[in-house]
Structure 1
Amino acid sequence: MFWVLFLLLAWGLTGTACTRLCLAAVRAASVDADVTATGPAHDLTLYEAAFLSGGPARVADVTLVSMARQRRLLLAHTGWATVVDPRGRDEMERSVIGAIGPEGQCRIGPVRARAAGAEAVRRLADGLVRAGLAVPDEAGGTVGAAVRRVRGTVPAVVALGAAALLLPVQSGTPRLLVGLWFGLPLALSLSCLALARIEVHPYSRWASPAGQRLLGTLTRGPAGDERSLLTAVAVDGIRAIGEPELRAALTHRDQPWRE
C-alpha cells in the first residue's frame, strides 16, 4: 500500500495550493470591492501606470526614457548612461541621477537596478497599495503566485501517480483504480485553474483588479506625441520604444531586465 502514501502527498500538495488560491482570490475581491465603493482617489501618473504594469523596473525604464528623450540623459547603445543635466525634476529623476553616481557616467544595468530599489519607488508602491490599486509585496499573497503554485501541482501529481503505478501490485488493488484515485487531485487542480482563468484573469504581479481596470482607461493620445510614447513604455515596456538606438541601449546584453 505504498501508493497510498503517494496519494496522500498528492492530496496534500493539491489541497494546500488550491486553498491558497481561493484565499488569494477572496482577498483580491475584498480589496476590489472596497476600491469600487470608494472610487479611485486620482488619475494615474506615468510612474504609477509603469509600476502597476511592470513593477519597480518599469518605473526605472520610464524615467530613463523620459530623461533621454529630453536630452538630459544620454543612453548609448553600448550600454552606458551619461548625465547631461544633473538637476532632476522629480524624485524619480533624482533617484536615477543618484544611481549613476558623482562621476556622471555608469553602466545602464546597475543604474536601473539602483533606481528600481530607490526609496522613491517604495513610497510610490506603498501609496498604490494603500489606494487598493497595487497588490501588497507579500510572498504568496497574490493571485498570480497562487495560480503558479496550483500549476506546479499538476506535474507533481502526475509524477506521483506514475510512480505509484510503477510500484509492484499489492493487496490486489487494480492499477486502473490506483490511477483513478490520482485523477481526483489532478481534476481538482485543473478545475481551480479553469475557474481562476474565468474569474480573476489576467493574473497581474503588481496591479490589483481595480488597478488593472484603471490601466485600461489610460488614453495614449495621438501617435508621435511625447506623452503617448511614454505611456506606451509605461504599459508595454521598452519594446514600445520606436527609436532603435534608445531601444538598443536599454536591451543591451548586460542588462538585468530583458523584455
Structure 2
Amino acid sequence: MFWVPFLLVTWAAAAISCARLCLAAVEAAQPVPPAAQDRDRELNLYEAAFLAGGPQRVTDLTLVSMHRRRRLWLAHTGWATVVDPDPEGADDLERSVIGAIGPEGQSRITAVRAAASAADAVRALADRLVAAGLAVPDAARSGIVAALRAVRRSAALTVALAAATALLLPAGHTPDARGMAWFALPLVLTLGCLVIARIEVHPYTRWASPAGQSLLTKVRVGPCDPLAAVAIGGVHALEDPALRAALVPGQRRVR
C-alpha cells in the first residue's frame, strides 16, 4: 500500500487546483454595475488596441502613429529615433514614448516598448476601460491564468505519480489494475476542468471583457487604415515590410 500516499497527493492537488480555478472564475465573472457599463459608444484606436492586445499593443500603435507623422523614425535595425524638434507629444501616450526614448533621442525599440507599456498613461487607459466594464481587471485575468496553470500542473503530476507507482515501487507494493484506476479520477477531474474552462473561462483570460469584445467587433478596419489594422491585428498587420521588421523581432533583415 505504499502507493496510497501518491494517490492522496494527486487527489489533493487536483481538488485544490480545480477549486482555485472555480473561485477565480467566479470572481472574474462578477457583473459590472449597469451604470458603469458603456456598451453603445465607439472605441477610439487606443482603446481598441488595449482591448485587442493589451498595453504592448497600445505602445505599438503609438509608435506606428508617430512614425507615420514623422515624429519618430523606426529603423528596421530596431532603433527608434526622435526626428520632430518638438519633444512634446500630442497626448500622454506619445509623451510616455518620448520619455521612454530618453534625452539622447534614440533608443532600442524593445526598451522603448517595455518602458512605455508600463507607463502611467497606459495604466490610466486600462483603469478607464476596467471602470467602464470593457476590460478585464488585471488581478482577475492574472488569477485565472495562474489557476489554469495550477490545474495543468496537477494533471501532469497525476500522470507522473501514476507512472512512478507503477514503475518505481518495489515488487509487491505496486497497485493492481483497480488501484491504478483510482489515479484516473483526479486526471479526469483536472482534464474536465480544463475543457470547461476553455469554454466558460477563456473570455476572462483576454484583455477585453465580453462587453469589450462586443465593441471590438464593431471596429472597422479599412484597406487604407493601417492604424486600425495595427490596433486590431498588431504589427503583423502592417504592409510596410521595413516598418514591420522594426517592430517584429526576427524580421530585422529587410532588403
TM-score bracket, normalised by the shorter chain, equals 0.7 to 0.9
Paired residue for 2:231, among 229, 234, 250? 234
Partner of 2:13: 13
Displacement of 1:119: 0.8
CA contact (8 A) 2:73 2:82 kept: yes
Cα distance in 2 for residues equivalent to 1:2 and 1:243:
64
Alignment of 1:67-146 (within 5 A): 67-85=66-84, 86-138=87-139, 141-146=142-147
What CA deviation, in whole Å up to 9, does each residue of 1:118-149 have, x standing for no partner? 11111111222222222222287543443232
Partner of 1:168: 170
Identity score, percent: 59
Partner of 1:183: 184
Structure 2, unmatched stretches of 5+, are none
Cα distance in 2 for residues equivalent to 1:4 and 1:154:
17
How many pairs were matched up? 249
Cα distance in 2 for residues equivalent to 1:128 and 1:215:
13
12-21 or 139-148, which deviates more: 139-148
Change (3 A) 1:97 1:3: same
CA contact (8 A) 2:38 2:132 kept: no
Partner of 2:202: 201
Change (3 A) 1:11 1:142: same
Cα distance in 1 for residues equivalent to 2:153 and 2:217:
30
Partner amino acid, structure 2, of 1:215 = L
Change (3 A) 1:15 1:128: same
Partner amino acid, structure 2, of 1:19 = A
What CA deviation, in whole Å up to 9, does each residue of 1:82-112 have, x standing for no partner? 1122331110001101111122111111111
Cα root mean square deviation, aligned = 2.5
CA contact (8 A) 1:35 1:210 kept: no
| TM norm structure 2 | 0.87
Structure 1, unmatched stretches of 5+, are none
What CA deviation, in whole Å up to 9, does each residue of 1:133-168 have, x standing for no partner? 222222875434432322222211100111122213
Cα distance in 1 for residues equivalent to 2:36 and 2:120:
30
